[in-house]
């Protein structure tokens, strides 16, 4: 599609409304997404048919959030993203793409470059028009990111060293700015362990792909070989397989989407497949993966709560768990089951979270034994497992 000038809605003040710039080469997608977000109370400050037009419009329209399609003419999403973040530190960019392996790879790379989240698009204009779940996901994601943005201004960290696989935050990746200290949370007394944990459970959503990789790398492969690692990262189908592959390359351990009926083994990373819940059955000595297509829990499938509840029954007090950055409250009810069974529960702190929804919910409910910055979680888990 030929490039067109960015259109904008003048607004002298951002006010309480979320300011969104929509960049997509499909005029149908631009129109529908803009209308849906306006009906949801957002302010569409501009639209663009390619990345170059969107980039040129940033200073003029001052968006809070950019919806950025991956595949566009002249300047695609992967090329536009780092330039946008260099130009506007703290800008929230949500990538949009169809569910293909190639686009999943690209989306994960964009998250490593600093995009805050991704939104899977249905195939073709007709799919976008007719798939109600796309509209629901779009509106919910933008509302939650906007609400978090209103209370959490962002700035840049120093550039970290380059890493293989899923990098840590690069120079262009937005990082939370510390805010005035909130009222201290009430922490649960840490359970007294008489033996090492027998499984590690990780739950994450928005910001999770980078965070999960950093945590596992902080634990180290030698320590992780002692127990199975089960991960629920809110992601659509196709994305989870690519995510698992990236994790395995980064930490040097077998990592893949979990399969129904497979035995759980130490030193293996099991990622819940997108669109399916991952549970467990059996005993701590002979645990088995159980996948199911039950209804979403906390609007999520896979859901952290499903994994946590089953792990509480199978492993009991032998669980070691952490809830990382993410929207919503998934994991809180399951955390209750885990801590009541005697397991240990950690939560990522607010300052280092991309969105402090899931860990914040857990903390407010009183189910966290410890609240730690992302950089401290890996070493803390390594010590709990018995590593050095």
Radius of gyration of the chain (CA): 21
In the residue annotation, 137 being an active-site residue is answered as no
Task: Tell me whether residue 59 is one of the annotated catalytic residues.
Answer: no
Q: Which two tokens stand for residue 240?
A: 């989870």
Cis check: omega of the bond before 302, within 30 degrees of 0: yes
Residue that has been written with the tokens 């780092």 in this structure: 82
Instruction: Tell me which of 234, 305, 352, 353 is the catalytic residue.
Output: 234
* DSSP tag of 142: H
Q: Determine the length of the chain.
A: 388
Q: Which of 205, 321, 352, 353 is catalytic?
A: 205
Q: Which of 363, 359, 270 is nearest to 311 (CA)?
A: 270
Helix, strand, or coil (residue 61)? helix
| Coil, strand or helix at 281 | strand
Q: Which of 107, 330, 349, 361 is catalytic?
A: 330
Q: Name the DSSP letter for residue 217.
A: H
Among the listed residues 308, 361, 364, the one whose alpha carbon sits nearest the alpha carbon of residue 339? 308
- In DSSP notation, 76-139 reads -HHHHHHHHHHHSTT-EEEEEEES-HHHHHHHHHHHHHT--EEEEEPSHHHHHHH-HHHHHHHH
**Is 4 part of the annotated catalytic residue set?**
no
User: Among candidates 151, 142, 214, 209, which has minimal Cα distance to 177?
Assistant: 151
| Residues labelled as active-site residues | 205, 234, 330
């Amino acid at each position: 599609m030929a490039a067109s000038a960015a259109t904008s809605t003048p607004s002298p003040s951002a006010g309480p409304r979320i300011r969104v710039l929509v960049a997509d080469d499909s005029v149908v997608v631009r129109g529908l997404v803009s209308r849906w977000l306006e009906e949801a109370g957002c302010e569409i400050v501009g639209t663009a048919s390619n990345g170059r037009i969107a980039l040129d419009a940033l200073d003029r329209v001052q968006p809070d959030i950019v919806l950025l399609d991956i595949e566009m003419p002249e300047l695609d999403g992967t090329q536009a993203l780092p330039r946008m973040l260099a130009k506007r530190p703290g800008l929230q960019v949500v990538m949009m793409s169809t569910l293909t392996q190639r686009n999943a790879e690209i989306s994960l790379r964009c998250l490593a470059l600093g995009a805050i989240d991704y939104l899977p698009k249905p195939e073709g204009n007709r799919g976008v028009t007719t798939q109600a779940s796309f509209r629901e996901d779009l509106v919910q994601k933008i509302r939650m990111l906007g609400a978090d943005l209103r209370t959490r201004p962002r700035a840049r960290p120093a550039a970290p060293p380059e890493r293989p696989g899923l990098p840590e935050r690069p120079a262009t990746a937005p990082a939370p700015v510390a805010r005035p200290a909130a009222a201290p949370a009430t922490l649960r007394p840490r359970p007294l362990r008489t033996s090492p944990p027998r499984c590690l459970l990780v739950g994450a959503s928005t910001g999770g792909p980078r965070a999960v990789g950093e945590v596992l790398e902080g634990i180290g492969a030698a320590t992780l070989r002692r127990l199975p690692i089960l991960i629920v990262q809110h992601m659509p189908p196709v994305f989870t397989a690519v995510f698992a592959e990236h994790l395995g390359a980064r930490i040097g351990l077998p990592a893949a989407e979990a399969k129904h009926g497979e035995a759980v083994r130490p030193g293996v990373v099991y990622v819940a497949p997108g669109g399916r819940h991952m549970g467990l059955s059996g005993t701590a000595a002979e645990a088995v993966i159980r996948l199911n297509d039950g209804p979403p829990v906390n609007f999520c499938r896979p859901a952290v709560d499903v994994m946590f509840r089953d792990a509480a029954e199978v492993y009991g007090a032998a669980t070691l768990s952490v809830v990382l950055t993410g929207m919503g409250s998934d994991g809180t009810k399951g955390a209750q089951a885990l801590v009541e069974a005697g397991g240990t529960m950690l939560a990522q702190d607010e300052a280092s979270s991309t969105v402090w929804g899931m860990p914040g919910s857990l903390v407010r409910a009183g189910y966290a034994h410890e609240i730690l910055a992302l950089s401290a979680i890996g070493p803390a888990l390594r010590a709990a497992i018995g590593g050095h």
